[in-house]
Structure 1
Amino acid sequence: MDGRPCSRVACTADAVATLTYVYADSMAVLGPLSRRAEPHSYDLCAQHAERLSAPQGWRVVRHERLR
């Protein structure tokens, strides 16, 4: 493992995306891995980022990496 680990329990994969919740807007925002770990966000591996779902009534906003 060269990078930061996935935040999911028992997952040993490297993180590729960062998840942040915006509670006031009932929104989960998933984007490219942040430059550094933040205390109120979650780093996810590709598998967990792809499978991400939000509670009913919430929306998921996915920001793709610009190439």
Structure 2
Amino acid sequence: MIQRPCSKVSCNEEAEATLTYVYSDSMAVLGPLSYNAEPHSYDLCARHAERLSVPLGWQVVRHVVLGHEQS
């Protein structure tokens, strides 16, 4: 099982999602926690993943794993 902390400052929760920015497309991509930590992505806990906000004009793509219920 993968265990990494949330990337947000002073958050000690376990990460559940990985956030990556595609600056050229003004897009934020949020998906399940990646298997490996990447230097240009951010691991987020459930609370921070749900509260994600992006700059005006950007879009958010949320990938979900089929068979997992969202709360």
TM-score by length of 1: 0.94
Map of 2:45 onto structure 1: 45
**Structure 1 stretches of 4+ moved >3 Å:** none
Deviation at 1:66, TM superposition (A): 2.5
Counterpart CA distance in 2 for 1:43 and 1:14 is 9
Map of 1:32 onto structure 2: 32
Indicate the percent of aligned positions where both proteins have the same amino acid: 73
Counterpart CA distance in 2 for 1:52 and 1:31 is 12
Unaligned runs of 5+ in 1: none
Deviation at 1:25, TM superposition (A): 0.1
- Report how many aligned residue pairs link the two structures: 66
Equivalent residue letter for 1:58: W
Map of 1:13 onto structure 2: 13
| RMSD of equivalent CA atoms | 1.1
Unaligned runs of 5+ in 2: none
TM-score by length of 2: 0.89
